[in-house]
Structure 1
């Protein structure tokens, strides 16, 4: 059954609808794969009993929706009715919701069979997936390394063939970093395309979004088409475009290479070269690639980001901080205390910087169809490390400073596609992100599809 777990979701669906595969065979193959490799990788958690999953697969009408018969595991920040949601925190271990979140309901309505959860760091904070409930997720290309985060469980499960598609979420690169480190694809859609849950404030905090992850762009488009679409209960919603014309002529498209943002970001050796090798694939497809000077002050972007992020985290975790601070890791406490200490004008000033960058980015996109950046500033680091304290001799002053390269996208809600780059000298995967103006999701996926068909390393899976 190894072949089944290496097939794309689109191909699995085609074969099931054609009667060449049954949903039960697809489920059995993926459960067998989980049994074989998850003990080493620790990507899938809260796995449902096999008998119940097989019975559900056997009862599935494979023509009953876009995802009918596909096994999926939901990131452990989202609620699935009947499955424990821990958010990686002991404070929530054992809590089983009675209702699925809207994004999950959409996947279930499309016929997906939720088999369990994928691991995440505590409350999704940090680009390294470890927590005191389930432990650390390991990189399937090197079990001594991190899989990234916070969608590290999803990325590792995909890379190993434990699931054909996966959901993730992205505030500060949480889709893009693990995709790059595990050799898969992650799509941060235009902000508002996938609605959040209608609880708490839904107007002010515009940093985080859910999105699809997969081993190819066609599968990203398949899952995004199910996840996306406005929710009348949530403001700022934007419609999902038709994602069906994925194969397109990309010759002539213009890509601006931002590299290390004019020297502002320290980068581990070899990462820029890996991205440049990926950009050479686009040049081979007829795209115009041009190095681009830093278009905005990196320090201003960073200060705006950490202000707005801490404000958002404090809003989410304040009650727990005030009642059970002992269950929060130091990085979460640091975020909450920063957020609680902020004045309204400090938040306003950060958003003014955000607004200025949005306007400047619009000018840049007048010249380019997409901007290219690395997905992280380091190669996957040892799994025992909580976070990198320095890069190339330069100290990191926060637990997330080594991920500064994702801030220009996240700060203003741009769509971004993480594509796998070539592996480095130690055999570790690299990643590059392509960002576009809001609403350019289809154009990015088209670039990704052309790249996937041309890059010799695209689609590689680790030998576990």
Structure 2
């Protein structure tokens, strides 16, 4: 008999709809699994068993089964406030903070009928691409516990990969969904800017940060994305006049069908190349070749893209990242509680002149236009998901913010520019290293091109024929 956590989220949705399992039964199953596995993996910052069971009962009695995520368990990333639940934001500076109200994304998953089991672990304020920090155990990669799970949605990815959740929402301002998804052998989706009403990116500096799904399959990711976009059903209720162009969804059909032939560009340069030594590891190149062979074998047009230098990118992006950190609500003596990386970003960011910030924003706006023009002849662009294999726990320099930032760029040079350009992207696992750690590829779409990405990712998923197994540790 298949254990509940071995089912995909879509299969669990079908079981719930048929009444073969109840929201309470499903919630209790995952809570038991969290109790057993989380001490070793470190995926959760907070678990809320009593509130979760009560919520499952409420969903059963008060919400219609038509709610897109009805009865499905997930967790809120610990950057998002849920009323009455501790919100640490991955920082010692917020130890003991319990908000009185909930963020819009949390309200959205509730409206969609989901059951939150707690808060997934995140690094301090979601700034790093790894999920480690002082005062809390590191979030470990379920495929090999000596490795990190990536970040900043590392707790969400580790929970899904180890079967403690069927899927989970994350946030992505520079790769924070796609990096941990790729590290943990999962599907991660960064939607177009403006696509998800409760996490559109339109209110963030330079429009970087958006909300999206982390899941084990392409269809599961589409199921969760549909719930995030339209928690009470399509059409989605967008709050801004600016919204993602293209197909408005739902996207589950495109992910299930996996149809179409497309023109795909292959890109191996990054805008960080002029500022850092970027080396693509053999394992990452091998994964890219698997992706190319899969798409070529399916009849898609494949074309290698010539490198395009962008020597101003590193300075402009660093300015924006530092300026964003400058708004962290920590001052005075409390700054001593921050991680060295956070403190470096915050202090440098607060010293950035207004002119420098304005010039960086203008430069990145021009960069967005150039990227979209460069990609215009392709339906999607294929890149490595990561330049290196998942990094060991403790690999990043904990004391030198400048060096730490550089290490992150070398690990994941293919993600942040997608946020700057506001484009959708999806990571898909396609291969494994010699010791069984998954490796993946990234597909980047046109503005509003999520449907095409889901179709291509589904085809790669079928072609690669990777099993849906959870790590052998459990």
TM-score normalised by length of structure 1? 0.90
1:405 and 2:386 aligned? no
Match of 2:32 in 1: 32
Question: Which segment drifts farther, 359-368 or 434-443?
Answer: 359-368
Residues 375-408 of structure 1, C-alpha deviations (whole Å, 9 max, x = no match) = 222211211223599xxxxx87635322222132
* Kept after mapping to 1: 8 A contact 2:264/2:380: yes
Q: Which runs of 5 or more structure 1 residues have no equivalent in the other structure?
A: 390-394
What is the aligned counterpart of 2:351 among 336, 341, 348? Answer: 341
Instruction: Pick one of 302, 311, 329 that aligns with 2:314.
Output: 302
Q: Superposition pairs for residues 216-255 of structure 1, below 5 Å? A: 216-228=217-229, 236-238=242-244, 240-246=248-254, 247-248=256-257, 250-255=259-264
RMSD: 2.6
* Secondary structure of residue in 2 paired with 1:186: strand
Hey, what does 2:233 align to over in structure 1? none
Q: Secondary structure at the match of 2:93?
A: coil
Partner of 1:211: 212
Deviation at 1:58, TM superposition (A): 4.2
Residues 207-257 of structure 1, C-alpha deviations (whole Å, 9 max, x = no match):
111111111122212211222267766674448433243144645311111
Q: Distance in 2 between matches of 1:433 and 1:277?
A: 12
- 1:96 paired to 2:98: yes
CA shift, 1:23, in A, is 1.8
1:157 and 2:159 correspond:
yes
Q: Which residue of 1 aligns with 2:442?
A: 433
Give secondary structure in 1 for the equivalent of 2:440: strand
Structure 1 CA distance for aligned equivalents of residues 6 and 365 of structure 2 = 43
Q: Secondary structure of the equivalent of 2:125?
A: helix
* C-alpha contact (below 8 Å) 1:302/1:404 kept by paired residues: no
Return the alpha-carbon distance in structure 2 between the equivalents of residues 361 and 217 of structure 1.
26
Correspondence 1:256 to 2:265: yes
Deviation for aligned residue 1:36 = 2.5
Deviations 1:302-326 (A, max 9, x none): 2221112211221x21x41445210
Contact 1:79 1:85 in 2 (8 A): yes
How many angstroms apart in 1 are the aligned matches of 2:373 and 2:156? 35
Once the two structures are superposed, what CA deviation does each residue of 1:244-290 show, in whole Å capped at 9, x if it has no partner?
A: 43144645311111124499322223211212112212222222222
Asked whether 1:181 is paired with 2:183, we answer yes
Which stretch has the larger CA shift, 280-289 or 415-424?
280-289
Q: How many residues align?
A: 454
Q: Matches of 1:388 and 1:86 in 2, distance apart?
A: 20
Is the alpha carbon distance of 1:257 and 1:388 closer, same or farther for their aligned partners in structure 2, counting shifts above 3 Å? farther
Deviation at 1:204, TM superposition (A): 4.5
Instruction: Tell me if 1:48 matches 2:56.
Output: no
Q: Note the residue ranges of structure 2 that are not aligned, 5 or more in a row.
A: 231-235
2:131 to 120, 129, 138: 129
C-alpha displacement of 1:327 = 1.2
Determine the C-alpha separation between the residues in 1 that align with 2:419 and 2:19. Answer: 42
TM-score (norm 2): 0.88
1:452 and 1:458 in contact (8 A); partners too: no
DSSP-derived class of the 1:115 partner: strand
Q: Report the secondary structure of 1:320's partner residue.
A: coil
In 1: Cα distance, 2:144 partner to 2:264 partner: 32
CA distance in 2 between counterparts of 1:270 and 1:263 reads 20
Structure 2 counterpart SS, 1:277: helix
Structure 1: distance between partners of 2:171 and 2:272: 29
Aligned to 1:60: 59
Residue 312, structure 1, aligned to residue 324, structure 2? yes
Deviation at 1:154, TM superposition (A): 0.5
Aligned-residue offset at 1:165: 1.3
**Preserved contact between residue 120 and residue 131 of structure 1 (Cα < 8 Å):** no
Distance 1:10 1:397, change over 3 A: closer
- 132-141 vs 344-353, which deviates more? 344-353
User: Does the CA contact (< 8 Å) of 1:119 and 1:134 recur in 2?
Assistant: no
Secondary structure of 1:290's aligned partner: strand
8 A Cα contact 2:200 2:209, kept in partner = no
Q: Distance in 2 between matches of 1:174 and 1:387?
A: 19
Matching residue of 1:392: none
Residue correspondence of structure 1 range 379-390 to structure 2 within 5 A:
379-387=389-397
**CA apart distance, 1:372:** 1.4
Q: Which residue of the partner structure matches residue 423 of structure 2?
A: 414
After TM superposition, give the deviation of residue 198 of structure 1 in Å: 11
Pick closer, same or farther for the CA change 1:459–1:283 going to 2, 3 Å: farther
CA contact (8 A) 2:76 2:169 kept: yes
Asked if 1 retains the 8 angstrom alpha-carbon contact of 2:74 and 2:116, the reply is: yes
Question: Would the alpha carbon gap of residues 57 and 231 (structure 1) be closer, same or farther in structure 2, given more than 3 Å must change?
Answer: closer
Aligned to 1:332: 342
